[in-house]
């Protein structure tokens, strides 16, 4: 019976990385364990000190939440006029934001992360899949979604372009959702410091950059009005004690953040070199994942899978594979060996 519940209808159709179980029917379980490069999660997690027992035991306190929100404001450069809401993962916000508004229509810049379109659709909105922010602006839809930088191709927009588009959507009675799930590695491109203006909802993901996807923590940075409606939907104690504690510590660690950005940038170049030597053209990505294109992509996917290495294929573009970064030197060597086998 649990399969009805855990094998959600929509996870059958939306492709995700991060769970080898999904491919176990296809590839044999490797004796050294899976090397999962199918996500864009930092493979070197923030070195979290032990979480105090009280964060597990007691109900999360308002003071704990406030400390987290203050740390997030500093880390993301949230302006005073904007409000910030914490949630148990960005996914919860992706599903909730469309329910704040009466059914209308939304343009989504694609191809992109697969959870946005069904969330708007389930909430009753008509979904228009468009290929650029200019094509979005030409649509009459009052709502828009831009993943920025985009997943999987890493496309970025100018801050000015995003702000102008959000103002336009506000004039149409809608909002622009900018999902900055991977923006931590390119803070100079982020629109978060401009949040709080009408018509703009920015989503930030804690777990990807800090390599702590299991804690489930995300943020919406937006106007006080929209933030209050999201908070009411989330209800009290939405974020767990361990997540509040982990987020507060990691977001305030500037030294680790800077060092991680430098390392991820270097590792992304290293991955590009390996992929190019294996015949891939690098067609996009961020410092948390790289998008390679090759006629041999399906064969490489198969070869890597047989070697216990999971990467991310795309049903809409079979010539693409998305690669997360290996973490240890052994994992780097394992990927390189498997690509060259």
Site for its own copies in 93-112 (CB under 8 A): 94-95
Question: Shortest distance, CB of residue 230 to its own copies, whole angstroms?
Answer: 8
The SS3 assignment for 283 reads strand
What's the chain's length in residues? 341
Closer residue to its own copies (CB): 28 or 50: 50
Q: Does 262 bind its own copies (CB under 8 A)?
A: no
CA 57 to chain centroid: 29
Which among 83, 301, 113 has a CA at the least distance from the CA of 201?
83
Q: Does 237 bind its own copies (CB under 8 A)?
A: yes
> Structure tokens of 18?
């991060």
Q: Which of 236, 254, 276, 318 binds its own copies (CB under 8 A)?
A: 236
In the sheet that holds 312-313, the strands lie side by side as: 281-286, 289-293, 320-324, 312-313
Q: Does 324 bind its own copies (CB under 8 A)?
A: no
Which residues, 54 to 73, sit near its own copies by CB under 8 A?
54-63, 65-66, 69-70
Q: Does 88 bind its own copies (CB under 8 A)?
A: yes
Question: CB of 250 within 8 A of CB of 206?
Answer: yes
Question: CB of 104 within 8 A of CB of 145?
Answer: no
Question: Shortest distance, CB of residue 14 to its own copies, whole angstroms?
Answer: 8
Q: Does 214 bind its own copies (CB under 8 A)?
A: yes
Q: How far apart are the first and last CA of the chain?
A: 42
Q: Which of 81, 131, 277, 281 binds its own copies (CB under 8 A)?
A: 81
Question: Shortest distance, CB of residue 16 to its own copies, whole angstroms?
Answer: 7
Binding span for its own copies by CB under 8 A among 35-43, 148-156, 158-166, 258-266: 35-43
Binding string to its own copies for residues 183 to 202, with x set by CB under 8 A, is what? --------------------
Binding span for its own copies by CB under 8 A among 4-12, 25-33, 251-259, 276-284: 4-12
Closer residue to its own copies (CB): 288 or 300: 288
Binding span for its own copies by CB under 8 A among 89-97, 105-113, 130-138, 252-260: 89-97
Q: Which of 239, 260, 264, 275 binds its own copies (CB under 8 A)?
A: 239
Q: Does 307 bind its own copies (CB under 8 A)?
A: no
Which residues, 137 to 166, sit near its own copies by CB under 8 A?
none
């Amino acid at each position: 019976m649990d399969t009805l519940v855990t094998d959600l209808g929509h996870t059958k159709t939306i492709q995700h990385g991060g769970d080898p179980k999904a491919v176990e029917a296809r590839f044999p379980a490797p004796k050294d364990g899976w090397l999962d490069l199918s996500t864009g999660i930092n493979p070197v997690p923030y070195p979290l000190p032990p979480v105090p027992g009280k964060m597990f035991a007691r109900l999360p306190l308002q003071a704990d939440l406030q400390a987290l929100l203050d740390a997030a404001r500093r880390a993301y450069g949230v302006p005073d006029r904007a409000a910030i809401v914490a949630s148990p993962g960005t996914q919860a916000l992706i599903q909730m934001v469309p329910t704040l508004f009466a059914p209308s229509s939304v343009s989504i810049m694609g191809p992109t992360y697969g959870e946005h379109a069904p969330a708007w659709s389930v909430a009753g909105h008509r979904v228009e899949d468009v290929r650029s922010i200019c094509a979005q602006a030409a649509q009459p839809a009052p709502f828009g979604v831009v993943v920025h930088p985009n997943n999987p191709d890493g496309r970025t927009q100018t801050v000015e372009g995003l702000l102008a588009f959000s103002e336009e959507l506000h004039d149409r009675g809608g909002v622009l959702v900018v999902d900055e799930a991977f923006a931590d590695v390119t803070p100079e491109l982020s629109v978060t410091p401009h949040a709080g203006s009408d018509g703009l909802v920015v989503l930030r993901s804690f777990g990807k950059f800090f390599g702590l996807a299991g804690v489930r923590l995300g943020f919406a940075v937006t106007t006080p009005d929209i933030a209050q409606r999201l908070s009411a939907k989330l209800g009290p104690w939405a974020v767990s004690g361990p997540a509040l504690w982990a987020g507060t510590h990691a977001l305030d660690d500037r030294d680790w953040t800077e060092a991680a950005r430098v390392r991820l940038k270097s590792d992304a170049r290293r991955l590009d070199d390996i992929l190019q030597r294996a015949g891939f053209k690098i067609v996009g990505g961020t410092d948390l994942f790289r998008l390679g294109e090759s006629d041999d992509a399906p064969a490489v996917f198969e070869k890597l899978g047989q070697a216990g290495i999971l990467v991310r294929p795309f049903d809409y573009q079979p010539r693409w594979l998305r690669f997360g970064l290996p973490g240890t030197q052994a994992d780097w060597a394992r990927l390189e060996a498997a690509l060259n086998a």
